[in-house]
Structure 1
Amino acid sequence: MSGISKWGKGKLGAIMLLSLLLILTGCGQANPTESNQEEGVQVVTTFYPVYDFASQVVGENGTVHLLLDAGQDTHGYEPTPKDLVTIAEADVFVYSSEHMETWVPAVLETLTDTDVLVVEAAEGLDFYENEETEEEHHDHDHEHGEGHSHVIDPHIWLDPVFAKEMVAAIAAGLESVDEENAEQYAENAAAYQEELDQLDQEFHTAFAEASNRTFVVQHAAFGYLARRYELEEVAISSFTSDQEVSPAQMATIGQFIEEHGVSTIYYQDSQSSKLAETLAAETGTELALLSAVEGVTAADQEEGTDYLTLMKDNLGALKQTIR
């Protein structure tokens, strides 16, 4: 299934139209937007992983914009009127999936009178659901029986093989919009996919002979990584970062740590580490960082941090446990 959709001409919603008029009037014709001042294909992305993938494919043939800064809530983000104009004026708008950027479907309804090409990079990939008790969390995507819900894990980019597919979807979109540079986009994508292949092989090699294949994390963001390399993720909290964990749940995880001789608890760089710190203190375990590759700042990027470097850091961290 293609992750690309073209939004045809139609009647623009009154709210969007008002926002456009207010902003464009405020800017004035003598002060065009940043996108209009820049040359080449203009791509707007939602959060860091798709920004990095799109940047690798675009190369020097245009500009890739990032909507969300590091630390902003990707799930509950509310785009500003300026954001809506930026998206509407782009050539391509790229997001991961409606499971991650839950606000995007509402934005797409405002694009019916634009020529922006929309790429859902993870469309068609094999998302999976995790069953939780009602005590663990509420208000998830699909209710299933009394006291339980099925929650779709949105962190699909943390699997290097799925990351390759997301890069391919982005490249296909760019090639269709900018046919003049289509060959360059294809070459850029292929080169980056080779690096993702190497990353995939490094994970396979590192864990091929491991006897302990279980790791404990604060936030359940690494399920796709675990599945790809036949590991088991045990999470203190679930997919939602703001979930409250009961004393009973903490006790259960603590008992698991003691019974299985777990030496390390992993916390996520873009989330509070409070739960992991509490449990580590109670069980005498070490703390280590695993990155979900979401909270990458501009300063981080200037220092050379990107998807590949963070995933290799994750590999090094997991070797403390998976061996």
Structure 2
Amino acid sequence: MRNVIKRILAPSFLLMAMLVFAGCDNSGNAQLDPDKVNVMTTFYPIYEFAKEIGGEDANVINLLPAGVEPHDWTPRSQDIVNTSKSQLFLYNGAGLEGWVPNFLKGLNRDSKVKAVEVSQGIQLIEGEEDGGHDLEGEGMGTGHKHHIDPHTWVSPKSAIIMAENIKNSYVEADPQHAQAYEARYAELSRKLQELDRKFETELAQVPHHKIVVSHQAFGYLCRDYGLEQHPIMGLSPDAEPRARDLVELSNLVKSEGIKYIFFEELVSDRLAKTLASETGATVSVLNPLEGLTQEEQEKGDDYFTLMDKNLHNLILALQ
């Protein structure tokens, strides 16, 4: 994931996206609000949940500009200044934001900001950092380091835990508005549980359970809903797979009669399209929700609309 966004999106698009969404997504231009709980978030899903739970009592600022990868980004001095003056700093953890430890060390000494790792309490999955297809779930031999899979939020079951952690951090930081946080959290939790039930019910009925994805971002989704992912690349979508892995994957697609190869809109679809053309499969989108594209922002998409699209595409692919 580290260099993908830089490579794929033209600098002019990034600049435009940063200008368009500066108000909500670019912390350098963000204003702290002395009358509210100021909350800094590291990337899109946490930002969305924090805004929903915080409501009118919170001023939520997303550190990452639109269209930038959490792995790729490094904070500027203004981000450190703003975070030092905030009450909450919410990050995913599980190894997603490698810059966080140094960032926290750089905060002002008198800062009262509470750093909260919102993936706490989720049973984490060990994944493979390097490219490589693993049919049997066994190690790939030398050169493959095992890392924690950080893509917790892609499963509604994990998202429920993350939302509760965010709610608890609000109640602790601002107890006088605890009732309002609890009420807004209850509504968000209800929607997430409904989404979870929909995934459980719909995916229990599909005849097939293997999906081929461009990168290994769907481990939690697959674990929680009885699917099996076969990634073209590892946890990092800019890692090139080996020729042998592609041949194995191509054989799997043919032998299992897999009809769809999934790719992501923010990542190059070159390998997914190559594999699809070799095997007679069709390409389709499975969104890991690491950030919204400009088009998604303009359409008013959010976690729920994009997860609904994911479910729709999965049901179609697994018939």
Q: Shorter-chain-normalised TM-score: which range?
A: 0.7 to 0.9
Matched, 1:276 2:293: no
Q: Secondary structure at the match of 1:301?
A: helix
Change (3 A) 1:135 1:104: closer
Q: Secondary structure at the match of 2:223?
A: helix
User: Considering only CA atoms, is the larger Rg found in Structure 1 or Structure 2?
Assistant: 1
Change (3 A) 1:266 1:299: closer
Name the count of aligned residue pairs: 285
Q: Is the 8 A contact 2:121 2:161 kept in 1?
A: no
The answer to which of 145-154 and 37-46 deviates more is 145-154
- Residue 125 of structure 2 is matched in structure 1 by 128
Q: Using the TM superposition, give the Cα deviation of residue 34 of structure 1 relative to its aligned residue in structure 2, in angstroms.
A: 4.6
Aligned with 1:301 (options 297, 300, 303): 297
Q: Using the TM superposition, give the Cα deviation of residue 146 of structure 1 relative to its aligned residue in structure 2, in angstroms.
A: 4.7
- Residue 286 of structure 2 is matched in structure 1 by 290
Q: Is the 8 A contact 1:93 1:117 kept in 2?
A: yes
Q: Secondary structure at the match of 1:59?
A: helix
Aligned mates of 1:37, 1:178 — CA distance in 2: 14
- Residue 263 of structure 2 is matched in structure 1 by 267
Q: Secondary structure at the match of 1:94?
A: strand
Aligned with 1:194 (options 172, 190, 197): 190
Aligned mates of 1:236, 1:36 — CA distance in 2: 43
Q: Is the 8 A contact 1:98 1:105 kept in 2?
A: no
Q: Using the TM superposition, give the Cα deviation of residue 244 of structure 1 relative to its aligned residue in structure 2, in angstroms.
A: 1.0
Change (3 A) 1:135 1:293: closer
Q: For 1:61-210, what aligned pairs fall within 5 Å after superposition?
A: 61-111=57-107, 112-131=109-128, 136=132, 146-210=142-206
Aligned mates of 1:36, 1:154 — CA distance in 2: 29
Aligned mates of 1:96, 1:76 — CA distance in 2: 15
> So what's the TM-score if we normalise by structure 1?
0.83
Change (3 A) 1:88 1:78: same
Matched, 1:226 2:222: yes
Q: Using the TM superposition, give the Cα deviation of residue 54 of structure 1 relative to its aligned residue in structure 2, in angstroms.
A: 0.5
Amino acid at match of 2:118: A
Q: Is the 8 A contact 1:38 1:63 kept in 2?
A: no
Change (3 A) 1:189 1:318: same
Q: Which runs of 5+ in 2 are unaligned?
A: 1-28, 134-138
Q: Is the 8 A contact 1:69 1:297 kept in 2?
A: no
Q: Secondary structure at the match of 1:35?
A: coil
Change (3 A) 1:230 1:34: closer
Aligned mates of 2:175, 2:215 — CA distance in 1: 42
Q: Secondary structure at the match of 1:83?
A: helix
Aligned mates of 1:52, 1:205 — CA distance in 2: 25
Q: Secondary structure at the match of 1:55?
A: helix
Q: Is the 8 A contact 1:214 1:321 kept in 2?
A: no
Q: Using the TM superposition, give the Cα deviation of residue 66 of structure 1 relative to its aligned residue in structure 2, in angstroms.
A: 0.9
Aligned mates of 1:79, 1:189 — CA distance in 2: 29
What percent identity do the matched residue pairs reach? 36
Change (3 A) 1:298 1:272: closer
Matched, 1:54 2:50: yes
Matched, 1:244 2:246: no
Q: Using the TM superposition, give the Cα deviation of residue 304 of structure 1 relative to its aligned residue in structure 2, in angstroms.
A: 2.1
Q: Secondary structure at the match of 1:195?
A: helix
Q: Using the TM superposition, give the Cα deviation of residue 297 of structure 1 relative to its aligned residue in structure 2, in angstroms.
A: 4.3
Q: Secondary structure at the match of 1:320?
A: helix
Aligned mates of 1:63, 1:302 — CA distance in 2: 22
Q: Using the TM superposition, give the Cα deviation of residue 281 of structure 1 relative to its aligned residue in structure 2, in angstroms.
A: 1.6
Q: Secondary structure at the match of 1:63?
A: strand
Show CA shifts across 1:99-150 (max 9, x none): 1111111111123430011111002321111357x7749xxxxx99854421
Amino acid at match of 2:149: D
Change (3 A) 1:145 1:291: closer
Aligned mates of 1:309, 1:109 — CA distance in 2: 37
Change (3 A) 1:100 1:36: closer
> So what's the TM-score if we normalise by structure 2?
0.84
Q: Secondary structure at the match of 2:145?
A: strand
Matched, 1:216 2:212: yes
Q: Is the 8 A contact 2:127 2:235 kept in 1?
A: no
Aligned mates of 1:286, 1:34 — CA distance in 2: 42
Change (3 A) 1:34 1:256: closer
Show CA shifts across 1:209-268 (max 9, x none): 322111110111011000101111111111002101222221111111111111000001
